[in-house]
Amino acid sequence: KNQRIVSFGDVHGDITALRTFLITARVLDPESTNDNPRWSGGDTICVQTGDVLDRGDDELACFRLLATLSRQAKESGGALLLLYGNHESLNAAGLFQYANPGGNAEFESTIGSRIDYNYGSNRWRLQFAGNQPSRWASFEPGGLLAENMLGNMLVACVVGRTVFVHAGLQAVHLKGDEEFNGISKLNMEARDWILKDCLGGGIGASSPVWMRDYSQPNDKEPKNPYAKTMIGTLPLNVQRMVMGHTPQYKINAAMNGRAWRIDVGASQGVMGGTPEVLEI
């Protein structure tokens, strides 16, 4: 369709960095506000490669902005696609060690206080004692925001000749789903975990939201001697893989342009790097 394709990496609860990403990508009207954002990208396809959560104070504000723009993009014939990162996985598992005090306060004021009001009591917090009740009630499998927020995120997606994923893909991740090259299976498994009352999911060094085989060391060729073979044997008709997860000093490519690393550590909770956007 000759649509513009743009992508940017980890946000980590930094609304200022997110706005800069979106304005740089030319998909957010810079005159619009966070409460009333306006999609300006027309039929552009924009992919955010995961990790909106943790390390910052504005996680829910970031999600609200992205969700609003996603709806507007669809109405304009474009798309804003959100990928599932390892920090979304951590929150869905009740692991909040990377959450900021300011971020927890945002969940308390936005989520916890409303639950207190609706129940007329704060006794619901006892079941989450010692584990950030407002955050855990939001993201536990089947939780308040599990379906509307995490359940709408993708583990991976193919747009044109590019596959987008938070951390990386190996051939083993794509087995057992020949019709859709394994990607639909990955996305369904993640959604099932998020929506059902069970534990599991993408926690582990070799998973698509955790691996660093294509992205370490930063701004250099991967140190994993098998990385080129791994990316070359993916059963996908694509030219490149775009990923976030591992902070780089700037957007860069490795392995003759097969792997693009776009996490520039833009959040003040990470490196405070300059937001950059990849246009394909």
DSSP 51-72: --SSSSS-HHHHHHHHHHHHHH
Which residues are the active-site residues?
87
Write the DSSP symbol of residue 122.
Answer: S
The structure's pTM equals 0.92
Residues forming beta bridges with residue 254, ordered by sequence position: 259
Q: What are phi and psi of 229, to 5 degrees?
A: -65, -40
Q: What is the pLDDT of residues 133-165, one digit of tens each?
A: 999 999 988 888 988 899 999 999 999 999 999
Domains belonging to the chain, first-starting first, are 5-279 (3.60.21.10)
* pLDDT tens profile 198-238: 444 455 667 899 999 999 999 999 999 999 999 988 888 89
Alpha carbon distance 14, 268 (integer Å): 7
* Segments of the chain scoring below 50 in pLDDT: 179, 198-201
Cα 269 to its chain centre, rounded Å, is: 16
Mean pLDDT value across the chain: 91
Q: Supply 202's token pair.
A: 């993408």
Q: How far apart are CA 189 and CA 245, in angstroms?
A: 21
The predicted pLDDT at position 196 comes to: 63
Report how far residue 22's alpha carbon sits from residue 25's, in angstroms, rounded to the nearest whole number. 5
| Of the candidates 206, 205, 167, 208, the residue with the CA atom closest to the CA atom of residue 186 | 208
